[in-house]
Amino acid sequence: MADQHPYRFCFGPWNISEGQDPYGPTTRPPQSFDWKLAQLKKHGFEAMMFHDDDAVPDIDSKSGTQVRKEAKALKKRLDDFGIAAEMVAPRLWFAPQTIDGAYTSNDPKCRRYAIDRSLRCLDLAKDLGTDLIVLWLAREGSYIRESKDAARCIDYLVEALDRMLAHDRRIRIVIEPKPNEPMDHAYIPTIGHALALAGLTRDPKRVGCLIESAHAILAGLDPADEIDFAMRFGKLWSLHLNDQNGLKYDQDRPFGNVSLRSAFDQVRALERHGYGKKGEYVCFDVHPFRTTKPEHWLDALLNSRRTFLRLVQKARSFNEKAARQRIENRDYQALDQLVIEHLLGPAK
Ligand code: GLO
Ligand code: MG
């Protein structure tokens, strides 16, 4: 059963984080990239996600030739480990040029910076052997509504995507929507927005999306419905599973931490549509708790994967026939309890 699952797992170096929050410093000592890569391998994950500057630190200060040299050296190290690069994401929310947004900044010079950096990211992705570019549009939104024209910002986003699609005809772009944080309101808050934006680009076939459970919850949506929606369009090309306790700051909790039932529904939706069968990875965008000791550093990731695999078993052993009967009989009360009993397991 679950040992025959088609799933392959991945995480990013930022998921082995040091415990800092806006109100306090780190609680664990920093670790080198090589240590993180070794941990990923040791624990049986098959791919790593990269920000462009995880792959090539200080990327803005380096020449194109230098970036490509470092990217090729990294690819060799990944090959030696037997680890794939799942994707590369331009980190467009750190630099001074992105203070007022990246592609949607009011300053044309800053918009140019964002596009130039994205094109370098595409070259980097090619050197790392992946065709997947993730765009978490962190600062593309507003804090002061009147400061920007939201319709013009859509044009800016389309222009940026078009430049990337034209730069490399092989790459695929996945948009990772999030409704807020760091912005008050993001321009692309949901999967529906992401796919609508894809439709305006020069090559919609190469623009898909990535669902993060916590981001869907922050938008007041059901992550399982977002999965069903994206997969109905054949557009779910990556996934950040985690959990979130209601409408507050982005929490990146372990998968299933808040709602086991919602996690079950997400896994059931993935199973129903065969997520992973075209090579898509299951990524966990989770962070250890601030209180976590260094010796338990990987537990948020390992527990998320364990919970995921347990829920794959639960999805595969769910009594679909009994569920169908209850649906036909419009006895949703009994259907509800069927799910609850299944998740609880046999009574002692
Ligand atoms: C933040 C996002 C972030 C992205 C990552 C990849 O809320 O989830 O972690 O997934 O930077 O672009
Ligand atoms: Mg994410």
pLDDT digits (tens, 9 = 90+) for 48-98: 999 999 999 999 999 999 999 999 999 999 999 999 999 999 999 999 999
pLDDT, mean of residues 20-47: 97
- Closest to 300 measured CA to CA, from 309, 288, 292: 288
**DSSP 8-state class, residue 254:** P
109 burial type by CB count under 10 A (0-12 exposed, 13-18 middle, 19+ buried)? exposed
Phi, psi of 227 (to 5 degrees): -65, -50
Ligand nearest to the CA of 181: 1
Ligand 1 atom closest to the Cα of residue 240 is 10
The alpha carbon dihedral of 174, 178, 181, 187 has a sign of positive
Distance of CA 189 to the CA centre of its chain: 14
pLDDT digits (tens, 9 = 90+) for 223-270: 999 999 999 999 999 999 999 999 999 999 999 999 999 999 999 999
Most ligand 1 atoms within 8 A of CB, residue of 136, 139, 181, 284 to mutate: 136
Residue 335 Cα, ligand 2 centroid: separation in angstroms? 32
* 21 assigned to active site: no
Ligand 1: lining residues by beta carbon, under 6 Å:
89, 134, 136, 176, 178, 212, 240, 250, 285
Mean pLDDT of the chain: 97
**Confidence at residue 6, expressed as pLDDT on a 0 to 100 scale:** 78
CA distances from 200 to 31, 187, 193, 196, 207 (A): 42, 15, 11, 7, 10
Residue 1 has pLDDT above 70, yes or no: no
CA distances from 334 to 2, 330, 345 (A): 27, 9, 16
Ligand 1 atom 3: the closest Cα is on which residue? 136
Ligand nearest to the CA of 89: 1
**Confidence at residue 4, expressed as pLDDT on a 0 to 100 scale:** 58
- Write the secondary structure of 214-225 as one string of H (helix), E (strand) and C (coil): HHHHHCCCCHHH
| Cα–Cα dist 85/46, whole Å | 9
**Confidence at residue 348, expressed as pLDDT on a 0 to 100 scale:** 84
Ligand 1 atom 11: the closest Cα is on which residue? 136
pLDDT digits (tens, 9 = 90+) for 142-184: 999 999 999 999 999 999 999 999 999 999 999 999 999 999 9
pLDDT digits (tens, 9 = 90+) for 87-99: 999 999 999 999 9
Torsion of the alpha carbons at 100, 103, 108 and 110, rounded to the nearest 10? 60
Residue 334 Cα, ligand 2 centroid: separation in angstroms? 36
Residue 17 Cα, ligand 2 centroid: separation in angstroms? 14
* 299 assigned to active site: no
Residue 3 has pLDDT above 90, yes or no: no
**Confidence at residue 299, expressed as pLDDT on a 0 to 100 scale:** 98
**Confidence at residue 5, expressed as pLDDT on a 0 to 100 scale:** 64
| Cα–Cα dist 291/62, whole Å | 37
pLDDT digits (tens, 9 = 90+) for 101-113: 999 999 999 999 9
pTM above 0.95, yes or no: yes
209 neighbors 235 (Cβ within 8 angstroms): yes
Q: Which two tokens stand for residue 146?
A: 């009147």
Q: Which of 52, 53, 54, 243 is catalytic?
A: 54
